[in-house]
Amino acid sequence: MQTTAAVTTTRAAEFRAGVKDTFPLVVGAIPFGIIFGAVAINSGLSPVEAGAMSAFVFAGSAQFIAANLIAHSVAVPIIIFTTFVVNLRHALYSAALAPYVKHLPQRWLVPLGFSLTDETFAVVVTYFGKADGSPYKHWYYLGSSVFMYVNWQVCTWIGITAGKIIPANLGLDFAAIVTFIGIVVLSIRERAAIAAVLVAGLFAVLAKPLPNGLGLIVAALCGVAAGVVAEAWLKEARLPQGGERSHE
């Protein structure tokens, strides 16, 4: 991750540095925001509802998944629970950032917590890790968050507008599926993750007859369990030789 090299010590300078370092990730998020807006209104949400989802939920992959489930008439509690499961990774991000923000008052923690995304985390955790003693690093976080948030709202509205013109039989909802494929394939960095993916895929087919999209939860939990078990096995198999690099 490229971060601004110079030590910045004013609030405004920290904010600008956060914006600047987040720029490449904002560019990457543009197509997703637009595709989300288009997919959302083709899935049955009204333009206001699609916009509200981006404004109040502000979680790209969870919104994509929700739009997909809405299109398949999955029950509301299942969609909310799926959102929870998909976003659980944010608890990891929060845990990693917490030591750096624990001195801040609630009026800072609430917006910073609300606006935590994969992209902002990636940029901010690198920056917070630098021991340059700047007292305004939370302004850097805020700059990254605000840039991501504004971009996401604008792109969603572009997508909503474009989605009304785009014919439904174009298969635009499939854009979410290829996006997920890319995210999954790129996220596989260890063999245990391959086990998690294969088992989740297998159980997604086996558990499909379950009502209300419950099969999704079952398959995901089986996949996570497979990843944990595989990791334990691999660790055990590795121990005799020792010294193999750890995957983190």
Partner 1 sequence: MNDVILIAGMALVTFSVRYPVLALVGKMSLPTPLRRALSFVPAAVLTAIVVPALLYPASSDHVDISLGNSQLFAGIVAIVVAWRSRNLLLTIVLGMLALWGYRWLFHL
> For residues 81-110, which are near partner 1 according to CB under 8 A?
81-95, 97-99, 101-102, 106, 109-110
Binding status of residue 233 toward partner 1 by CB under 8 A = no
How would you classify residue 245: left for phi > 0, otherwise alpha for psi between -120 and 50, otherwise beta? beta
Give the per-residue SS3 of 61-103: HHHHHHHHHHHCCCCHHHHHHHHHHHHCHHHHHHHHHHHHHCC
Residue from the set 25, 41, 123, 219 that interacts with partner 1 by CB under 8 A? 219
Cα 57 to Cα 140: distance, rounded to the nearest angstrom: 22
Provide, rounded to whole angstroms, the least separation between the CB of residue 102 and partner 1. 4
Provide, rounded to whole angstroms, the least separation between the CB of residue 137 and partner 1. 14
Residue 114 Cα to chain centre, angstroms = 13
Residue from the set 181, 210, 237, 244 that interacts with partner 1 by CB under 8 A? 181
Provide, rounded to whole angstroms, the least separation between the CB of residue 232 and partner 1. 9
Residues 109-168 interacting with partner 1 (rule: CB under 8 A): 109-110, 112-114, 116
Which of these ranges, 10-18, 43-51, 129-137, 153-161, lies near partner 1 under the rule CB under 8 A? 43-51
Name the residue nearer to partner 1 (CB basis): 16 or 90.
90
| Nearest partner of 201 among 220, 179, 217, judged by Cα | 220
Binding status of residue 179 toward partner 1 by CB under 8 A = yes
Residues 44-63 interacting with partner 1 (rule: CB under 8 A): 45-46, 49, 52-53, 56-59, 61-63
Q: What secondary structure letter does DSSP report for 207?
A: T
Name the residue nearer to partner 1 (CB basis): 201 or 212.
201
How would you classify residue 58: left for phi > 0, otherwise alpha for psi between -120 and 50, otherwise beta? left
Binding status of residue 31 toward partner 1 by CB under 8 A = yes
User: And the tokens for 239?
Assistant: 């121990």
